[in-house]
Each structure stands twice: as C-alpha cells, then as structure tokens.
Amino acid sequence: MLCEYEEPRARFREQEVKDTIVVFGSARIKSAEESQELLATALAAGDPIATARGKQAVRSARFYEDTRELSRRLTEWSLGLRKPKAPQRFLVCTGGGPGIMEAANRGAADVEGGRSVGLGISLPFEEQVNKWVDPDLGFEFHYFFMRKYWFMYLAKALVIMPGGFGTLDEMCEVLTLRQTRKVTKPLPMVLYGSDYWDAVLDVEAMIEWGTVAPGDRQLMHRSDSVDDTFDFLTNALDPKKEPA
C-alpha cells in the first residue's frame, strides 16, 4: 500500500503533474471503425448473435469518438495556457484501460506535445495500460482504494461517460465525497450522454423518495455534446478566475 502511495507521488512530482481532468467510462465501448468492422464481419457470416452485438457496438461508438475529440480539445486548450517552458497545466487522466479510457488517452496523444495519465489496475481480463498513455505517467495498481485516491487527489474536473459497474462505483464514490463535504474543492463534474444515464440513473426518483436532496442535482452537469462539455469545463477551470 505504501508503495502505491509513494511511487505515484514521486513520479507526479518529478513530471510536474498537479492538475488533472479525470475521464471515467466503459472499457467495452469500441471506436467507430472497430465497431463497423465487427458488424460487417457478423453480417457476412450471417451470425444473428454477433450481428446484434455489432449493432450494439456501433450504437455506443459515438461515445468513444466524442471522448477522443473532447480529450483532444481539452489537451490543446491546456497546452495553450502554459507559459514558455512550463509544464502542461491540466492533463487528462483515465484508468488506463481500453474503451473510453483509451479514447481519452488517444485524444490527448492526437495533440503534438500532449500528455495524459493512466492509472491502471491489475485485473485478470485486462491488459496493461493502453499505448496512448504517456510512458512516464502510466501506473498499475493492485489496490482499488489507492487508485481512487490518486484519481481524486489531483482531479480538478471529471467527465463521466457511459459505463458499467466500475464507472458507477467511481462516480458514486465521488458524489458521496462531495455530498458529505469530505471533498470541498471545486470539482466540476459532467455526466455525458442523457439517453444512457436517464435510463441507468434516475436521480429524480431518488429525490421523490427523499434519499437525496433536490440540491444534489447541482453536483452534476448533464451534457450531450462535446461543444457544451468543453465550454462548461474550460469556463469552470479558467485560471483567470482563480483567487490571487
């Protein structure tokens, strides 16, 4: 446990990483190109089960492409903030795996000089951090709680893309920390993809049942476009608004 605290701390300090924009989301969502290939192969084989999975992949692929584009734009914006010879201010940070995580790291790598962080986790069904993570900023954790610590410690904003149990776990932990004021720093948080999240997370029902407060709606900004998300985050993170 101590190693998983000390090594990241030393490497982040060495690499001058102080602020991150964390992106959570499914490891299973594929790029548009890969999804179309899967569907074409399934249709050619006449396999109805594979065809259904291919259509499902194509349906979700927009989230991969939106994540990549958002990450590219945020990285480009972040690099534009720095003074000559200064380090990149805000780095995209993911869980380092495939799917949405890969898309975010890949988007950062699309920008010349863009860097991103990958906080991987040792799992039997997942490879090491994806190839788009900066080599000096790729980690592999054994303990989930230490990985979550480093997600939160450096985070200045979060984007929650559609995901499964892991994404829900990460999102709910962040919401709990903010709701209970264990985390009090400004932390703009975007829930991306209304068609998905309206079906998965019914906050209005929780409010009606009295299990969360009406004001808890303000903990998340809902978005369905890269433009809106980019504008929301860059406005919230504008260094000019920081206290002197």
Tens of pLDDT, residues 116-143: 999 999 887 666 799 999 999 999 999 9
Q: Which residues contact 126 (CB under 8 A, 6 or more apart)?
A: 27, 97, 98, 120
Give the other-Cβ count within 10 Å of 116's Cβ.
30
Q: Long-range contact list for 175-182, CB < 8 A, 24+ apart?
A: 175/216, 175/219, 175/220, 177/152, 178/219, 179/212, 179/216, 179/219
CA distances from 239 to 8, 102, 227 (A): 25, 28, 20
CA distances from 140 to 42, 80, 151, 152, 225 (A): 35, 30, 13, 16, 31
Apex CA 216: angle with CA 77 and CA 193, to 5°? 50
Report residue 224's pLDDT band, with 50, 70 and 90 as the boundaries. Answer: very high
- Domain architecture of the chain: domains with CATH: 3-30+61-238 (3.40.50.450)
Report residue 82's pLDDT band, with 50, 70 and 90 as the boundaries. Answer: confident
Q: Is residue 244 scored above 70 in pLDDT? A: no
Report residue 189's pLDDT band, with 50, 70 and 90 as the boundaries. Answer: very high
d(CA 152, CA 140): 16
Q: Is residue 13 scored above 80 in pLDDT? A: yes
Q: Give the mean pLDDT of the chain.
A: 94
% of the chain exceeding 90 in pLDDT: 91
Report residue 72's pLDDT band, with 50, 70 and 90 as the boundaries. Answer: very high
% of the chain exceeding 70 in pLDDT: 97
Order of strands, sheet of 90-94, starting from the edge strand that comes earlier in the sequence: 138-141, 116-121, 90-94, 19-24, 155-160, 189-192, 221-223
Overall average pLDDT of the 88-102 stretch: 96
